[in-house]
Amino acid sequence: MRRPFVAGNWKMNKGPKEAAALAGQILSEIAGVNNVDIAIAPVAISLASVHLVLQNTNLKMAAQNMFYEESGAYTGELSPLMLNEIGCKYAIIGHSERRQIFGEDDELINRKTRAAISHGIQPIVCCGETLEERESGSTNDKVAFQVKAALSGIRMEDASKITVAYEPIWAIGTGRTASPEQAQEVHAMIRNLLAEIFNSAAADQIRIQYGGSVKPANIEELIAKTDIDGALVGGASLKADSFAAIIKACV
């Protein structure tokens, strides 16, 4: 059995004070909730204040992005060493907003994924198709291509450190969720692909999150699907009560 994993991607919201306050509210909402892995991904400048609130709790921190080098002339970037120091257990890699707005390509995402693993940071590798790709029937090809590219060169013994987040781009922030059946179909395809890349035992261990307009109202149907192991939540993770409701539904 895979342990469910729910992560909240706060995107470019909540500066240091608000982020620390929200982290505290989430902690009280999830007191006593077990058997689920939980993370929040504050904006980089809020990692330090949130870290202080989360110390010695079961709420872990994720970075929203990470560069692959340890230090140097990379203006504006954050290194895996720095994320380790500030207490990030996870890093979201290759979110569709990074791909579309900031031009991240599959090769860069692969370098980041490998760097995260070699520094002990667990990558949450994002993939997903556009509406056009879904309508033209190329969803599986697109997602398979992204997953293969991102995981190229990852060793079998590191497979269990990876989380894949399937996020159809047309469902992100739009209020339009993939149906549980649509999501399950892609998740199953991803799991088969992971079995080809690694082997089926490794594929069975890797958590595949669904993301895209996840809310308390739709999580139950999604998490009930065989290959949906949790959620990457954007908008609904910015309110402690809705994020906690999603987490509790996944246990």
Q: How far is the CB of 201 from ligand PGA (least distance, A)?
A: 28
Report how many residues bind ligand PGA under the rule CB under 6 A. 13
In the residue annotation, 85 being an active-site residue is answered as no
Give catalytic status of residue 95 as yes or no.
yes
232 interacts with ligand PGA by CB under 6 A: yes
Among 15, 84, 118, 173, the residue binding ligand PGA under the rule CB under 6 A is 173
Binding-site member from 42, 123, 128, 235 for ligand PGA (CB under 6 A): 235
The candidate with the shortest Cα–Cα distance to 171, out of 218, 207, 206, 125, is 218
Asked whether position 212 contacts ligand PGA by CB under 6 A, the answer is: yes
Residue closer to ligand PGA by CB (options 194, 232) is 232
How far is 219 from 175, CA to CA, in rounded Å? 13
Binders of ligand PGA among residues 80 to 109 (CB under 6 A) are none
Which of 104, 133, 167, 187 is catalytic? The answer is 167
Asked if residue 233 binds ligand PGA (CB under 6 A), the reply is: yes
From the list 110, 120, 109, the residue with the least C-alpha distance to 161 is 120
86 in Cβ contact with 126 (< 8 Å): no
Rounded CA-CA distance 167/7 in Å is 13
Through-space distance between the first and last CA atoms of the chain, rounded to whole angstroms:
12
- Residue 214 binding ligand PGA, by CB under 6 A: yes
The closest alpha carbon to 130, from 147, 142, 118, belongs to 142
The verdict on 246 binding ligand PGA (CB under 6 A) reads no
* Distance in angstroms (rounded) separating the CA atoms of residues 166 and 211: 6
Which residues are tagged catalytic? Answer: 95, 167
Q: Where does this chain bind ligand PGA (CB under 6 A)?
A: 9, 167, 172-173, 211-214, 232-236
